[in-house]
Structure formats: C-alpha cells, structure tokens
C-alpha cells in the first residue's frame, strides 16, 4: 500500500534535498532541470548520448558552486548501455530516487512521405529508449521500495501541433500511454510514474527555424510566447517530491494554454451577412 504523507510544511513536502536524481538528455531542458535539482540540494547524475556533453554541463554546475553532480555517457537506445549506466549509478551513489527522462529528437516531413530512416530513429530515441531506461531504473526502484519517474512527453502527443511532425507526435502519444502502463504496474511498489507535456520550448532543438516560425508559435499561445526551459523546474520538483505522493499515471500539460482552445476570431465589421431561407 502507498505510504501516506501527512506533512503540512510546504518546504518539506517539496524537498528534493539529498535525493539521487538521474537526468537523461543533456542540453536544453535537461541542463535547466539539472540546475534546478542541484540548487535544491539533490545529487544530480546527468547522462547523455553525445560524448562529453553531460560533462560540460556538470562543469558549469561546478562553476556555479554545485559540486554534487556527476556526468555519464551512454547510448539510451541500447538496452545493455541503459542497464550498465543504472548499475554504475547505483554502485557509485547507492540508489536512484528520481529518473527524469528528457531525451528526444524530431524531424519534419509530410506524413505521406516521411523518411523511413528518420522515422525509425525518432521512434527509437523518443519511445524505445524511454522504455529501456525506465525498465532499468524501475527494477532498481522496485528493490529499494519506491521512487519517482518523470518522462517528458509533449503537447504533440495530445494534439496535432504542426503539419509535418506525424512521427514525433506519435512517439510522444505513445510515451503518455507508456507512463500509464508503468504507473499501473508499479503502483504496488511505491513507484510514481508521470509525464510532463511541454509546449514549444526555446531550446537548441529549434535551431535553424525561420523567424516567422518563432513569431507564429508565440502568437498561438494565450500567454503570447513559447516556454523557457527554466519554467519546467517547478513541475519537475513537484513530481519528484513527496508533494506528488498520490499522483501517478498523469500527464501534466505545461503549454501556456495552447491546448485549452482555439477561440474564433472574425471581423465584426464584415457586412457580408449569411442568411438561411
């Protein structure tokens, strides 16, 4: 049965102090979250598929005064490397309290002509690798009596967000369902599994897009802009802390109101009136 948290002090409820937090995917969102967890007293293990990328971020964290952070290189699409990473992390740090899986890629093609190689690569990184690292960490959490797992989904897994991202959208919708499946299976082990579904985030993943892309994305949000990576620290800490003790199988939309609706705009001065006989 899930332990009952009766703490009423907000600082204690939301504390991640001394938790061992494994974050996969360096750069952009992963870097911002590593700062957020480190600043709030967690031990951060940052792992990336790109050699040396996690170490660069750990060096930046050290320069900022956060010395309790460690870098790892691994290929998240390979089951053996996921298992080896988790085994090494536990050997060096004793446990894994929180997994935050941010790794993801995307490509754009018309859905009827989506390149097969890119399709398989997107599904491999966004879905298969998420399953593999979650399985590996989940086995550790089962043995240690619990933990928190946070996957990064997307509004693209809830609604079609562009004309040419069918495979990315499919992969993220699958991640949302994956979260539900793991959450239901592992509730009895005191493991919470949830996801955060961001809107567009101002990260290097958008490198190379035209200015008009940015302008149109901003205009689509009720808040008038896309999100920044640092704006996801609060939700990640919530889902990693005791404050979310009774939340599992949930996808938290963090989209600046993007999914809330598409209200109609029209010219009220238009004199062309439609009449029905």
Helix/strand number for the chain, H first, E second = 9, 7
50: how many CB neighbours lie within 10 A of its CB?
Answer: 11
Residue with tokens 């907000």: 10
Number of domains comprising the chain: 1
* pLDDT for 244: 97
In a domain, 189, yes or no: yes
Task: Provide the residue range defining the domain that includes 64.
Answer: 10-254
Is residue 133, in this structure, part of any structural domain at all? yes
From 121-130, 175-184, 231-240, 253-262, the region with the lowest mean pLDDT: 253-262
Between CA 200 and CA 210 the distance in angstroms is 15
Q: Provide mean pLDDT across the span 170-190.
A: 97
Place of tokens 């509004």: 155
Cα distance between residue 26 and residue 32, in whole Å: 9
Q: Residue 217, by phi and psi: left (phi above 0), alpha (psi -120 to 50) or beta?
A: alpha
End-to-end CA distance of the chain: 65
pLDDT (0 to 100) of residue 203: 83
* 125 in a structural domain: yes
The dihedrals phi and psi of 23, each to the nearest 5 degrees, come to -115, 120
- Please report whether residue 263 resides in a domain: no
Give yes or no for residue 105 having a pLDDT over 90: no
Number of residues written out for the chain: 277
Q: Quick: pLDDT tens for 50-102.
A: 999 999 999 999 999 999 999 999 999 999 999 999 999 999 999 999 999 99
Q: What pLDDT, on a 0 to 100 scale, did the predictor assign at position 242?
A: 97
Q: Let me know if residue 270 belongs to a domain.
A: no
User: What's the pLDDT score for residue 111?
Assistant: 79
Q: The pTM is what?
A: 0.94
Average pLDDT of the residues in 16-34: 95
Is 91 within a domain? Answer: yes
| Per-residue model confidence (pLDDT) at position 81 | 97
Q: Residue 153: is its pLDDT beyond 80?
A: yes
Question: Which CATH number characterizes residue 79's domain?
Answer: 3.40.50.720
CA distance 82 to 88: 10
Confidence band, pLDDT 50/70/90 cuts, at residue 27: confident
Q: Which residues pair with 48 in a beta bridge?
A: 73
Q: How is residue 229 written in tokens?
A: 């990576």
Confidence bin at 110 (pLDDT 50/70/90): confident
Element (H, E) at 150: strand 147-152
DSSP for 14-74, written as a single string: T--TT-EEEEE--STHHHHHHHHHHHTT-EEEEEESSTTHHHHHHHHHHHTT--SEEEEE-
Question: What pLDDT sits at residue 163?
Answer: 85
Asked whether residue 266 is domain-assigned, the answer is no
* Structural domain contains residue 3: no
72 given a catalytic annotation:
no
Of 38-47, 139-148, 151-160, the range with the lowest mean pLDDT is 151-160
Residue 46 phi, psi (nearest 5):
-105, 125
Among 66, 72, 168, 213, the active-site one is: 168
């Amino acid at each position: 049965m899930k332990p009952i948290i009766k703490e009423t002090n907000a600082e204690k409820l939301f504390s991640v102090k001394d938790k061992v937090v494994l974050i996969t995917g360096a750069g952009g969102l992963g870097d911002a979250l590593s700062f957020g967890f480190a600043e709030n007293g967690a031990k951060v293990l940052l792992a990336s598929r790109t050699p040396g990328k996690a170490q660069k971020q750990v060096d930046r964290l050290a320069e900022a005064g956060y010395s309790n952070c460690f870098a790892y290189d691994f290929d998240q699409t390979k089951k053996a490397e996921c298992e080896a990473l988790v085994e090494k992390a536990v050997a060096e740090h004793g446990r894994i309290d929180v997994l935050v899986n941010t790794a993801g890629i995307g490509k754009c093609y018309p859905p009827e002509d989506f390149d097969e190689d890119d399709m398989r690569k997107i599904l491999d990184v966004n879905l298969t690798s998420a399953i593999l690292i979650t399985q590996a960490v989940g086995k550790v959490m089962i043995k240690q009596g619990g933990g928190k797992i946070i996957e990064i989904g997307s509004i693209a897994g809830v609604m079609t967000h562009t004309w040419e991202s069918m495979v990315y959208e499919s992969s993220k919708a699958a991640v949302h369902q994956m979260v539900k499946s793991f959450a239901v299976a592992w509730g009895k082990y005191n493991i919470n599994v949830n996801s955060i579904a961001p809107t567009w985030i101002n990260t290097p993943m958008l490198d190379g897009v035209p200015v008009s892309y940015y302008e149109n994305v901003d205009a689509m949000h009720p808040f008038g802009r896309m999100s920044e990576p640092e704006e996801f620290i609060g939700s990640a800490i919530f889902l990693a802390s005791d404050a979310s003790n009774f939340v599992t199988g949930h996808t938290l939309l963090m989209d600046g109101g993007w999914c809330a609706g598409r209200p109609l705009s029209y010219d009220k001065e238009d004199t062309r009136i439609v009449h029905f006989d």
